[in-house]
Structure 1
Amino acid sequence: MKKYIIALFLGFSAMLQAQNAVSGIVTDNTKQPLIGVSVYVPELHKGTITDANGKYVLKNLPNGTLKLRFEYVGYASQNQAIDKLQKTNTLNIQMITSTFEMDEVIVSTAFSKIQSQNVMKVEHASMRDLEKKGTATLIEGLATIPGVSQVSTGTSIGKPVIRGLSGNRVLVYSQGVRVENQQFGDEHGLGLNDAGVESVEVIKGPASLLYGSDALGGVLYFNPEKFAEANTFKANFSQKLFSNTLGSNSSLGVKTSTENWKFLARGSYNTHSDYQISGGDRVTNSRYNETDFKTGIGYSNAAFSTVLRYNFNKLDLGIPEEGIAEQSKSKNTIFPRQGVDNHLLSWNSVIYLKNSKLDVDLGYIANDRSEFEDSNEAILRMKLKTFNYDAKYHLPKIGNLESIVGIQGMHQTNANFGAEYLIPDATTNDFGVFGTANYEWKSNVIQGGLRFDNRKIATVAHGVLGEEGSFEAIDKSFDSFNASLGYKTNLADNLTMRLNVASGFRAPNLAELTSNGVHEGTNRYEIGNSNLKTEQNLQTDVNFEYGNTHFEFFVNGFYNHINNYIYTSPTGTQLENNDVFEYIQNNAKLYGGEVGLHFHPHPLDWLHYETSFETVTGKKQNGDYLPLIPANNWNNTIRTEFKIKNWFDEGFASLNVNTTLNQDNVSGFETSSNGYTLVNLGFGGKVKWGKTAFNVNLNGNNLFDKKYIAHLSRLKTDGIPNIGRNIVLGVNFNL
C-alpha cells in the first residue's frame, strides 16, 4: 500500500510541475546595471542576486501569481507581482534611490501585502535597525517601536506591552508558530533570542480573526532569517560587548542553497553579570546566561515549497530578590534562579494548485520551566507541551477579489514535577474556523472576515481543598464569534487613510481560573475564580500617513472597549502573612495613539530628523485606572549618513533623546512614577579593508548615567533603579 501512495503522490506532483522561469535586468535610475541586487521570492524562501550585467534568473517556479522582492542598499525596495506565470517571463526593474524606510511585505496579515497596500497598519522593524540602537535584549529593542513597551525584571526578563495590554493578551509568533511558555507570569520572559531573526512585525490591536484566543491586544510576529541565495554558501560571525553588565553576545551561522534545497544553522551564546545602576552599585543576582541554536532545511519546486525549522533556547536566569546587596561581577547565577529550556519545531508547506494554493503550518513547543529557591532541586517545575496547526486555503482569485478560508487549533498539556504547584495539571484544546476576503479597486482596499472559536480547559484535582497549593478539578468550554472590517484609501497624492474595526477575545488562563497560593514576586496570596467569563473586546483604529521624497508623517488613534476584563482585587484578608487577592471581572476601556514624523531636508541628503509621541490611558468601568499602563513617551532622533572614501561605507551617526513623562494615572495598588530623559548616541557602518569587510556598531545608552525607575519595572516596589550607562560595541563579519 505504501508504494502505491508514494507513486500517487509523485504522479500528482509531476502533474503540478510547471518549470516556469523569470529573468530580467536590474538597473539604476541612469539605466546602468546594478550588481548584487537581492531578488527574493518570500513564499518559496528562494532568491538570487544580479550578476555583473545586472541580470538575474529564477527557475522552477509554480503556476499562478508570483511575488518578487528587489532589495539594494541605498535604493527603495520594490515588490512586483506576476499574475499568471508563463513558461518564460521577463521582468526588468529600475531601482530608485531612497533615503526612507523600505515598503516591506507584511507577512503577519492574511494576504501578505506590502505596507502601502495593507488595510491594517502594521509596524515593521528589521533586527539590523534594532541593533543600531544598541539595546541589550530583544525586548528592549522592541520597546523602541511606538506603541510597544515592556514589563521588565532587571535586564534579563521582559514581557511585551502593546498599547497597555500584556501577558496572555499579546500573542507572540516565531517561525510561523505561536509561542507558548507560561506567559501568564509577569516573571516569565519572552524566551526568544534575536540571533537568526530577520525582522519583527507588530499588530497593535485585535487579531483574533487570524490568530484566535490571546490575540486580543495584538501580535508580535518574528520572521526568521532568510536562506542563502541559490548556489551560494555563506558564513557569518557577530560579537557584541556590553560595558554595564560586562556582557558578551556571540553568534555563528552558516547557510547554503542549491536550486531546490536550502539549509542553515546558527548558534549563539549570551552571558551577563549583574547590571549596574547609576552611581556604580550592581543589582544582586540580575545576571543571566542564554544558549540558543537554530537550524532549518527547505525544499521548493514548481509544485510545492516546504521548510522545517528547529530552535532550542536555554535560559539560566537569576532572580534579583535582595536588591543591592552582595556586589559581584560573576556571571554564575545564585539562588533564587530560574532555568528554562524551550524546544520549538515548525513545519511550513505551501502546495500550489492551478489557480489556488494550500498553506499549512504545524508547530510543536516543549517548554520546561524550573524555579530553584535555595538548592539545585527545583521547588517548582512545569512542563508545557503544545501542538499547533494552521491550514489556509487561498481560493482562486475572482477579478480583484482575493479570499481565504482556514482552520486553526492547538492541543496543550501542562504537567507539574516540583514540590510546589503554581497551576494544576491541565489539558487545553482550541479549534477555530475562519474566512476573510480582500477587494481592491484603484487606490482603495476593503477587507473583512468572520471567525468562530472554541477553547476547552480541563484540569486535574490536587492536594487537600482549603490548603495552599490545592486545586479542584474544572472542565470549562469557552466559545467566541469575532469579525473584522477594514478600509484603506488614498485621500490625496501621498496621503493614505486606514480605518479598521475588529473584535477579539481571550479565554481565562489557568492562573486566573485556578490560582491558590502565594504568587512569587507579587508578595500576595492569589485565589482564582473558576466562574470567569471570556474577555471580549471591540477596537476602532484610524491611521493617516503622508509621505514624499523628503517628508513622512503619521497619526494613529485607537479606542478599545473590553467586556469582562480580568484583574485582581484585594479581599481585605490575609493568608500565609500575605494580603489575599482574588480574580474578578469588570468592563474596561483603553484609548490613545501615536504620532510621528521623519524629515529629510533637501539638499542636506545626509541628515534625518525623526520624532514620535505615544500615549495610552486605561480605565475600568467605574473610572479607576487600570494597572501596568505605560507612561507617555516622546522620542527624538537626529541621524546622519555618510561615506568615507572607499574604506567606510553605509556610515551613520545618531543622537537620540528619549523622554518618558510622569505616570500619575495609576491603579489603587500602584504608586506614581516620575518622568525621566535618556540620551543615547550611536555610530557605525561597513569597514572595507582589502578584500575583508565587516559591519561595526558603537552605542552609548543612557550616556549621562541617569538614575531612574521605569513605571513598568517589577523592581520598582523595592526602589531598585533601571540600568545605568551602557556602552555597546558590536561587529559582524561575513566569513
Structure 2
Amino acid sequence: MKTAFTLIMLLCTAICIGQELTIEGIIIDDQKEGIPFANIALYRASDTVKIVKGSVSDLYGKYSLQNIDSGNYILKASYIGYETVSLPISIDGDLTQNIILNTDPKWLTEVVIEGKRSIRNIDKTSYTFTNNQIKKAKDGRELIATLPNLHVDKSTNALSTINGKSIIILINGIKATNDDLKIIPADKIKNVELYDVPPMRYINDAENVVNIRTKSLDTGWSGNTYTTLGQMFSNASLALSYIKGDNKFTFHYGTHINMKRNIEDLETGRYNYQISDDNYVYDYIRKSQSWGYQHNVGFTYSRSKESNYDFQIKAFINTSNGKLNADKTIAFMQNEFQEERIGSLKDHTKSIVPTLDIYYSKILPKNNSITFNLVGSYFDNEQQTHSAETGSTGFDDSMLINNQKKTLISEFIYDHKFSNANLSIGYRGHYNYLTNELTNSISADSHKERINTKRHYAYGEISGKLKPFMYRVSLGINYDTQLEENGFHNFTFIPMIMAGYNINDANSLRITYNSNTQMPDMLQMSDARILIMNNFYQTGNKNLQNSHFQSWGLNYDLYLKNFSLSASLFYDYTNNSLFDLYKYGDNCVLFQTGNAKKDIRRGGEFNINYTPWEFLRIGGSMGSYQQVFQPSKEMNSFSYWSYPISIYLSAYYKNLSIDVFQKLGGTFLSGLYKTGIDKISYISIGYTYKKVNLGLQCFFPFIKDKYSNKTIPSSIVYHKTDYHLRRKDHAFALSLSWNFDSGKKKASIQQNTENYDYDSGLFKIK
C-alpha cells in the first residue's frame, strides 16, 4: 500500500509538472475601470530579472498568460500614471488574478504617455489617448476627430471620414448622434474602436463604424448647445442628459434650415434623343432654388445594472419640409421645327416620422450574452410636383402623392466570448408596408397602390487571433422579397472571409472578401410618374430586383508615433446594380431606376495622417480606380478612370484653431453618367474660452462648386449638363457652442445594435 501510494503521488507530481496552466484576469483602476494596454509580466520567485511570460491588457483591461508550469511566481502589472503592483502567487492550477492599480501621485498634474497607443485587429483599430490630447479637446467629439481619417466636417457639423465614406457612430455599442458625443466630456472617453470593415450586423448600413467606449459617466446634468447662422444654412441643437442612480434620462432637439437665397444655382445642358422617326434636341439653361427645414426631437430613458442587464426605450420624431423651384429657358427642336420655350418645375415635400426603439441586453454566465432590439417607425408623407412648359406642344403636368409607410425592425443576437475568439449569431427581420395614394399623368383620378417588402437576415460570425495571425469568418443569408405582382423572392448567401498578419507592432497586412445586398427604395418600384419634357417621363419601375455586391481587397496598414498610412487594392462586382436608366415606352422615353448587367469597380486608395508637431495635423486621401459598366446584355460596356482627392489640415495655438478641408477629383462613372464630384471646400477659424467655442466658416473661399455630367455612348438619350452651385460660393457662417457637465460618477448603458429605416418613402425628383 505504501509503495502504491508513493507511485500515485509521483505520478500526480509528474502530471502537475508537465501541465500547462493559464493565468488570466482584469487590470482595473481605483474607479473599477479596466486599464487598456497595461503591461503584465510573470517572473519566477527565485529569479525576478528574467521574464517567464509577458503580455499587454486588451481594451477592456483583460489579460491572459498561457502555457505556464506550476510553481511560485511574482506577477507584476504596470502602466504609466499608475503605481506598479507586484503580487507573489503560487500556481498549481488555472488561476484568475485581478489586479488594481492606483494612480501615482507624481503623475496627477499631467501624463504624457508615449509609445503604443493602438491595437490592430482584423477589422478594426483600437485607440487610447494621452492626457495631453484629452486636455486640449473641449468635448468627446473633438477628441475622436483627431483619429486617422476622421474630422468634423464644418459644412455639416458632423463627425465624418476624410475620404467621404459613410459612417455610423456608436457610444458603448449604441447608435448615437453627434449631439450625444458632444455631451460626453473628453476625459470620459476610455478608448475607441474604428472599424474599416463593419461587423456583420452593420454591413449593409455603413462603410465605417466608430464605437466609443466611455468611463463611468457623471451622476447629474450634462449637455451641449450649438448654433450656426449662415448664408447657405443654419443649424441649432440642444442636448440634455440627467443621471440618477441606475437611471438615465436624455432629451435632444435639433433643427437644420436650408436658407432661401436670392442667388440661384445654374445648370446648362442638352438632351438629344429619338422617338420613332422624330429627332429631338433640347438645349436649356435652368436656374433653381432649394430650401426647407428639418426638425427632430426625442427622449430616451435607460436603466443599467452593471454586469447584469441594460434596458433602453427611445422615442423621437422627425419632421421635414422641402421646396424646389426651377425655371428653364429652352431652345427646342423636333426635326426641322424650332421653338423657344419657358419651363418650370416645382416640388414640395412634407414628412413626419415618429419612431419607437426598445432595447434589452442581458449578460449570462460563462461569457454569454443575449440582445433584443425592436424598432417601429411610421412615415406620413405628402408630395406635390408640378412641371410645365410653354410652346405649341407644351404641357402642364402634376403629380400628387400621399403615402403612409410602416416599418418594423426586430433583431436578436447571441454572443459568446472565448479566450482568443468571439462568436456572434444573430437574426434581423425588416418589414415595410407602403400605402400610396397617387395622382399623376397615368390617371386623373387618384388610385391606391400597396408595396410590401420584407428582408430576413440571419448570420453567424467568429473572429479572433492566433499569435500574429488575425481572422474573421462570417456567413449570412438574406431572403429579400417584394410581395406584389411582378415582385421577387431572392435568397442570397453573403459570406465574409478576412485573414490578416501582424508583421510587427507597426505593420499589418489583410486580405478580405465580403458581400451584401441592396433593396430598391419603395417608390422606385411604384407607379409614380411626372412629365419632365415632351414625351419624356420620370417614373417608377415595378420590375426592379435587389442588387448583390461582392468585394475583394488587399490592405496594408502602417501605424507609427506621428504617422499612419492605410493603403488598399480592391475589386468590386455588383450584380443587378441599381442605376438611372433611359428606355423607350409607348411613344415616349422613360427615366427610371433599372438593374445593370455589369458593374465593376477596381483600383487602389491610400489614406495618410501626419502630426509633425503637436499643434499641427495633416490628413489626406487619394484614390485611383477604374469602373466598367454595362447597362444590359444588348448594350456595350463602357469603362472610365477616376482620381478622387481629399486634403485636410488642422492647427491650433493656445485658444485659437484653424481647419482647412478640400475635396476634389474630377468625375466618376455612375450608371449611364460620367458624373462630376460635388466638391467640398472650407476654412474654419475657432476660438475657445473654457467650454464655449466661437467659430467662423467660409465655404468655397478659393474655388467654385462647378462640375459636369455626361451620358456614356451606350445611352439611348444623350444628356450633357454643367452645374454651378452658386449659392455655395464664398458663403459665410457663424457658430457658437457650449458644453457643460456636473455630478458624481455613474456607469453608462452599453447597447450593441443599430436599427433604423432610412428609406423615407418619398419620390426623388432628379
TM-score by length of 2: 0.63
Q: Which has the higher strand share?
A: 2
Give the C-alpha shift of residue 680 in structure 1: 2.9
Query: Which secondary structure does the structure 2 equivalent of 1:293 belong to?
Result: strand
1:387 corresponds to which residue?
Answer: 408
Alpha carbons of structure 1 residues 442 and 239: separation in structure 2 relative to 1, 3 Å: same
**Whole-angstrom distance in 2 between the partners of 1:457 and 1:231:** 48
Give the C-alpha shift of residue 97 in structure 1: 3.4
Q: Which amino acid aligns with 2:243?
A: S
Give the C-alpha shift of residue 654 in structure 1: 3.1
Describe the superposition over 1:31-76 as per-residue Cα deviations: whole angstroms up to 9, x where unpaired. Answer: xxxxxxx96999xxxxxxxxxxxxxxxxxxxxxx99379xxxxx99
Alpha carbons of structure 1 residues 422 and 402: separation in structure 2 relative to 1, 3 Å: farther
**Whole-angstrom distance in 1 between the partners of 2:451 and 2:429:** 17
Q: Which amino acid aligns with 1:415?
A: T
**Whole-angstrom distance in 2 between the partners of 1:479 and 1:314:** 35
Give the C-alpha shift of residue 305 in structure 1: 0.9
Alpha carbons of structure 1 residues 253 and 548: separation in structure 2 relative to 1, 3 Å: same
1:458 corresponds to which residue?
Answer: 483
Alpha carbons of structure 1 residues 425 and 208: separation in structure 2 relative to 1, 3 Å: farther
**Kept in 2: contact 1:573–1:580 (CA 8 A):** no
Give the C-alpha shift of residue 414 in structure 1: 0.7
**Whole-angstrom distance in 2 between the partners of 1:732 and 1:131:** 17
Query: Which secondary structure does the structure 2 equivalent of 1:609 belong to?
Result: strand
Q: Is it true that 1:528 corresponds to 2:545 in the alignment?
A: no
**Whole-angstrom distance in 2 between the partners of 1:401 and 1:676:** 43
1:624 corresponds to which residue?
Answer: 637
Alpha carbons of structure 1 residues 248 and 451: separation in structure 2 relative to 1, 3 Å: closer
2:567 corresponds to which residue?
Answer: 555
Query: Which secondary structure does the structure 2 equivalent of 1:408 belong to?
Result: strand
Query: Which of 361, 365, 390 in structure 2 is aligned with 1:350?
Result: 361
Describe the superposition over 1:405-435 as per-residue Cα deviations: whole angstroms up to 9, x where unpaired. Answer: 1211122211124535899312222222221
2:302 corresponds to which residue?
Answer: 298
1:90 corresponds to which residue?
Answer: 100
Q: Which amino acid aligns with 1:270?
A: H
Alpha carbons of structure 1 residues 436 and 239: separation in structure 2 relative to 1, 3 Å: same
**Kept in 1: contact 2:294–2:321 (CA 8 A):** yes
Alpha carbons of structure 1 residues 436 and 113: separation in structure 2 relative to 1, 3 Å: farther
Give the C-alpha shift of residue 573 in structure 1: 4.6
Query: Which secondary structure does the structure 2 equivalent of 1:492 belong to?
Result: coil
**Kept in 2: contact 1:177–1:346 (CA 8 A):** no
Alpha carbons of structure 1 residues 274 and 566: separation in structure 2 relative to 1, 3 Å: same
Equivalent residues in 2 for 1:115-264 (5 A)?
126=141, 129=145, 132-136=152-156, 142=160, 145-148=162-165, 195-196=179-180, 209-211=200-202, 218-219=206-207, 229-242=217-230, 244-245=231-232, 247-264=233-250
Describe the superposition over 1:350-387 as per-residue Cα deviations: whole angstroms up to 9, x where unpaired. Answer: 10111211022221122222212479x99212221111
Query: Which of 424, 448, 455 in structure 2 is aligned with 1:430?
Result: 455
Query: Which of 606, 615, 624 in structure 2 is aligned with 1:606?
Result: 615
1:636 corresponds to which residue?
Answer: 647
2:435 corresponds to which residue?
Answer: 415
Query: Which secondary structure does the structure 2 equivalent of 1:528 belong to?
Result: coil
Describe the superposition over 1:433-453 as per-residue Cα deviations: whole angstroms up to 9, x where unpaired. Answer: 221111212233211011222
1:32 corresponds to which residue?
Answer: none
1:721 corresponds to which residue?
Answer: 725
Give the C-alpha shift of residue 537 in structure 1: 3.0
2:706 corresponds to which residue?
Answer: 708
**Kept in 2: contact 1:76–1:102 (CA 8 A):** no
Give the C-alpha shift of residue 625 in structure 1: 4.2
- Greater Cα shift, 251-260 or 500-509: 500-509
**Whole-angstrom distance in 1 between the partners of 2:316 and 2:172:** 9
1:465 corresponds to which residue?
Answer: none
2:395 corresponds to which residue?
Answer: none
Alpha carbons of structure 1 residues 196 and 570: separation in structure 2 relative to 1, 3 Å: same
Question: 5+ residue gaps in structure 1?
Answer: 1-19, 27-37, 43-64, 70-74, 79-83, 117-124, 149-159, 163-170, 179-191, 325-333, 460-472
Query: Which secondary structure does the structure 2 equivalent of 1:210 belong to?
Result: helix
Could you say what the CA RMSD is over the residues aligned between the two structures, in angstroms? 5.0
2:465 corresponds to which residue?
Answer: 440
Equivalent residues in 2 for 1:534-683 (5 A)?
534-573=546-585, 578-579=589-590, 583-601=594-612, 604-621=613-630, 624-625=637-638, 632-643=643-654, 648=655, 651-656=656-661, 658=662, 660-663=664-667, 668=672, 670=673, 673=676, 680-683=682-685
1:403 corresponds to which residue?
Answer: 423
Alpha carbons of structure 1 residues 105 and 393: separation in structure 2 relative to 1, 3 Å: farther
Alpha carbons of structure 1 residues 132 and 513: separation in structure 2 relative to 1, 3 Å: closer
Query: Which secondary structure does the structure 1 equivalent of 2:503 belong to?
Result: strand
Give the C-alpha shift of residue 516 in structure 1: 6.3
Alpha carbons of structure 1 residues 495 and 677: separation in structure 2 relative to 1, 3 Å: same
Identity %, equivalent residues: 14
**Kept in 1: contact 2:429–2:455 (CA 8 A):** yes
2:351 corresponds to which residue?
Answer: 340
Rg comparison, structure with higher value = 2
2:319 corresponds to which residue?
Answer: 314
**Whole-angstrom distance in 2 between the partners of 1:310 and 1:101:** 41
**Kept in 2: contact 1:204–1:219 (CA 8 A):** yes
Give the C-alpha shift of residue 486 in structure 1: 0.8
Q: Is it true that 1:368 corresponds to 2:380 in the alignment?
A: yes
Describe the superposition over 1:582-641 as per-residue Cα deviations: whole angstroms up to 9, x where unpaired. Answer: 73441221123421222222xx43233222213443222576348xx9953222233323
Give the C-alpha shift of residue 398 in structure 1: 3.4
**Kept in 2: contact 1:196–1:294 (CA 8 A):** no
**Kept in 1: contact 2:480–2:546 (CA 8 A):** no
- The count of corresponding residues between Structure 1 and Structure 2 is 577
Describe the superposition over 1:104-158 as per-residue Cα deviations: whole angstroms up to 9, x where unpaired. Answer: 999xx9x997379xxxxxxxx95774885421465xx64x53153xxxxxxxxxx
**Kept in 1: contact 2:124–2:194 (CA 8 A):** no
Q: Is it true that 1:114 corresponds to 2:100 in the alignment?
A: no
**Kept in 2: contact 1:277–1:721 (CA 8 A):** no
**Whole-angstrom distance in 2 between the partners of 1:519 and 1:89:** 72
Give the C-alpha shift of residue 403 in structure 1: 0.9
**Kept in 1: contact 2:126–2:193 (CA 8 A):** no
Give the C-alpha shift of residue 495 in structure 1: 0.9
Question: 5+ residue gaps in structure 2?
Answer: 1-24, 37-57, 63-78, 83-93, 129-139, 185-191, 268-285, 330-344, 388-397, 441-445, 712-718, 741-766
Describe the superposition over 1:253-276 as per-residue Cα deviations: whole angstroms up to 9, x where unpaired. Answer: 211112311111011233232257
**Whole-angstrom distance in 1 between the partners of 2:659 and 2:297:** 32
**Whole-angstrom distance in 2 between the partners of 1:228 and 1:392:** 25
Alpha carbons of structure 1 residues 96 and 442: separation in structure 2 relative to 1, 3 Å: farther
**Whole-angstrom distance in 1 between the partners of 2:296 and 2:95:** 40
Query: Which secondary structure does the structure 2 equivalent of 1:287 belong to?
Result: strand
Query: Which secondary structure does the structure 1 equivalent of 2:201 belong to?
Result: helix
Q: Which amino acid aligns with 1:90?
A: I
**Kept in 2: contact 1:208–1:503 (CA 8 A):** no
